[in-house]
Amino acid sequence: MSFNSYIFILLFLPLTIAGYHILNYAKKFQLAIFFLLVMSLWFYGYTNPYYLIFLGGSIIINFTFHLLFTGTSGKDYFSKPISRKVLLCISLIINLGILFYFKYYNFFVDNMNLFFQTNLSIRNLLIPLGISFITFQQIAFCIDSYRNEIYKLHFSHYALFISFFPHALSGPILMQEDFLPQLSQQNRKKIDWTNFSIGIYMFVMGLGKKVLIADLFGNAVNIGYANLSSLNSTSTLFITLAYTIQIYFDFSGYSDMAVGLAKLLNFDFPLNFNSPYKSITIIDFWERWHITLTRFLTKYLYIPLGGNRKGTRRTYINTLIVFLLSGLWHGASWAFILWGLLHGLFLVVTKAFKTIFDRIPKILNWMATFLFINITWILFRTESLGSTLLVIKAIAQNDWGKIDSGISDVFSSDFIRFIPEYIVPFMFLAIILLVVLTCNNVYESAVKAKYSFFTGALVITVLLLSLLSLSGMSTFLYMNF
């Protein structure tokens, strides 16, 4: 099930909100949690019930590790340091093994066949939804259990923590301290109308980002990439910029909707997206884009590797390792690995020559950062090195002319017939980019908003326009990662 679908908005969400708050009002607190769990499982398994086998199995396995780590299973011999380390290694091997099998097995086989001239066969695997997010979250939970940072826990609480529908498919990546304590806080059992208002605002604005902006530019991007060999430099440059807009509004839209949905049920999620295109440097960018992924990699990979505690050279090596694995986490492709490597190298260069970068005017730093981000997003869209080179070659061929008619038709409207059609796509692009760079993001607006007739009218208008546009429903980009 997807957030941007009629069944979710008109059936699933009203039932979930009403059922959960009614049960809490009746003081059936544990039943309310169980109800949320059941609804989350319905949400996850709606597209394919077989996904529930993966989800249920991984939850049971990792909760068993939690019981062994905390001593609540009756196995006292796991209290010894060596035994605990062995158990932690087993839990990591199982979690990463499952992730490797579903997401990276065919990539591994393809490269084995290429480099060693073997003839291993690939498998037609059904990759479970959100497997990367779910796996990282359960790894964090097992490590926290190993460190004695989690105490006795109800199975239903853990199962809801992993499967909770607002974040299960594309984040944010929750740590146990982000969510589990909230399940026992009595003040969250009553409807908080401020949270409810913020939740509606953020969900609807996030939906509008996805349906009205990301999907619009995504249609142009799809047309362009489907006809890449026939595009001139103008059209190729436009679709690369359009993808920059698409992925921004697609992922920020999901993140806003996830936070909003949690607010509607009186839960708080960590911020995952904070106006990253306003970033002056690449360091700033990674403090704003996919914040919870950066937090996870910092806590569970960068710091255990030594962080910045073992000298400058080791710090840079650790940074490159983290970004290489970040690229691989996003997808089983050399393009994603190169994307991670490039981001890691740029971040290392920025840190190494910080005094020089600090003397450069902010506008030039921003331009360099934004240009770098645009170029590396090409790797995300093409997912192959060969196709990436074709895009760069098409831009560099210096064939500037009118934009492709198929692309410009995406933005055509009877209301703007007086504007030449080859200008309209760039006009849309410029307006959206201006909004991104100058306006508050949705979270800032939701917190600061004075809920008035104007705000209500805005929310209703965006919701209606979004509902009318759902016939061309598309999945969120990060569900592929």
Rounded distance between C-alpha atoms, residue 319 and residue 313, angstroms: 10
- Among residues 214, 235, 234, which one has the least CA distance to residue 226? 235
Amino acid at 59: I
Kindly give the residue spans of alpha helices, DSSP state H, lying in 209-300.
215-226, 233-264, 282-285, 291-297
Active site residue 330: yes
Residue 126 amino acid letter: L
As a whole number of angstroms, the longest Cα–Cα distance in the chain is 78
Distance CA 61, CA 50 (A): 17
Q: How far is CA 225 from CA 104, 378, 390, 435, in A?
A: 25, 11, 10, 26
Q: Is the peptide bond before 172 cis (omega within 30 degrees of 0)?
A: yes
User: What is residue 172's three-state secondary structure?
Assistant: coil
Packed helices 51-70 and 155-163: angle between N→C axes, nearest 10 degrees: 130
What distance in Å separates the CA atoms of residue 76 and residue 289, rounded to the nearest whole number? 43
Report whether 329 contacts 107 (CB < 8 A). Answer: no
- Residue by residue, DSSP assigns 180-196 as GGGGG-GGGGS--HHHH
Please check whether residue 388 is in contact with residue 334, taking contact to mean a CB–CB distance below 8 angstroms: no
Question: What is the CA 396 to chain-centroid distance, rounded?
Answer: 32
> What are the residues facing 289 on neighbouring strands?
273
State whether the Cα torsion 299-339-3-449 is positive or negative: positive
Selecting among 66, 290, 330, 343, the annotated active-site residue is: 330
Query: DSSP secondary structure string, 343-407?
Result: HHHHHHHHHHTHHHHHHS-HHHHHHHHHHHHHHHHHHHHH-SHHHHHHHHHHHHT----SPPHHH
Please give the positions annotated as active site.
330
